[in-house]
Amino acid sequence: MTTIVDERLRGVRALVTGASSGIGRAMARALADAGARVAVSSRSEDRARAAADEVGANALAVAFDVRDARAVAAGVDAVYGAFGGLDLLVNNAGIGMRTVNPQFMTDPQPFWTVTDTGFRDVLDTKVSGTFLVSRTVVPRMLTAGGGRVVTVSMNESTMTRRGFVPYGPSGAAVEAFARVMAADLAGTPVRANLLLPGGATATGMVPDDLSEDLRARLLDPSVMGEPIVWLASPAAAGVHDERIVARDFTGWLRARGPGA
């Protein structure tokens, strides 16, 4: 029996932040399954190692806090030391609403009940983390002559949903940053795009007591697999400043037409 090995991304070197669970791990797994070498990052070394073991032989565990500039620099240095470079950065690290309101889906709380610590933790991880990692990696990509950055966002309705402070504002801020990043990179060999699931996903960010009806509507994290592999592939070499909804990816790609 012959085993078919997927090598669409053979030679591609990727870093996925916040990849120890949920959509981050799903994207890391999809990239590795397509032949890429993938650095799996988490704040926790144990969680990073566990995720890398699950992702497979093409995965590298790297532990650093995306909110800490020195830690980011050391973590990125470690990845470059292991891989010799990076072709793809996936800005995914984030903290969900459970940290400020464990029942946020069924019992939304007003913004004035959110603690300043909870607010800062969510914003710092998603927004400052995306900035710090991108600021560290992108200049190296420019020097190397190319690279791709994919920033994970969320539905616009989630950004302004009742009871979703600070998670919603963190998504709005990181999306604005990603668009500015794309504008700054226009005319360079580095491409920057946005990717979002297109709905709530079945990850550890949703409440444990979610009703069966609501849980049945959740997207599987694997929905991010096909679009992230495509964005890392030669087919997406000219794609820049796009906002891609994973749930609608097949239709979006078809609408682009052959060779687009």
pLDDT in the model for residue 99: 85
Q: What is the mean pLDDT of the chain?
A: 91
pLDDT in the model for residue 200: 80
How far, in Å, CA of 49 to CA of 66, rounded? 17
Strand partners, 13: 37
Q: What is the DSSP secondary structure assignment for residue 43, as one 8-state letter? A: S
* Mean pLDDT for the stretch of residues 103-112: 86
pLDDT in the model for residue 104: 81
pLDDT grade for 3, boundaries at 50, 70 and 90: very low
Catalytic entry in 80, 104, 131, 167: 167
In sequence order, what are the residues at sequence separation of 6 or more whose Cβ sits closer than 8 angstroms to the Cβ of residue 13?
36, 37, 39, 83, 84, 85, 86, 87, 88
Checking if the pLDDT of 2 tops 50, the result is no
Q: Rounded to 10 degrees, what is the CA torsion of 61, 88, 196, 116?
A: 60
Contact 61, 48 (CB under 8 A): yes
Annotated catalytic residue 80: no
Alpha helices in the chain (DSSP H): 22-33, 45-55, 69-83, 116-123, 129-144, 156-159, 167-185, 212-216, 225-231, 249-256
pTM given for the model: 0.91
| Cα-based distances in Å from 134 to 30, 74, 142, 172, 184 | 22, 14, 12, 17, 12
Checking if the pLDDT of 193 tops 60, the result is yes
pLDDT in tens, 18-59: 999 999 999 999 999 999 999 999 999 999 999 999 999 999
pLDDT in tens, 123-182: 999 999 999 999 999 999 999 999 999 999 999 989 999 999 999 999 999 999 999 999
Checking if the pLDDT of 5 tops 70, the result is no
* Mean pLDDT for the stretch of residues 119-124: 96
Domains defined for the chain, CATH in brackets:
13-256 (3.40.50.720)
Checking if the pLDDT of 1 tops 70, the result is no
Contact 13, 36 (CB under 8 A): yes
Contact 168, 160 (CB under 8 A): yes
pLDDT in the model for residue 205: 54
More confident residue, 113 or 103: 113
pLDDT in the model for residue 256: 87
pLDDT in the model for residue 217: 65
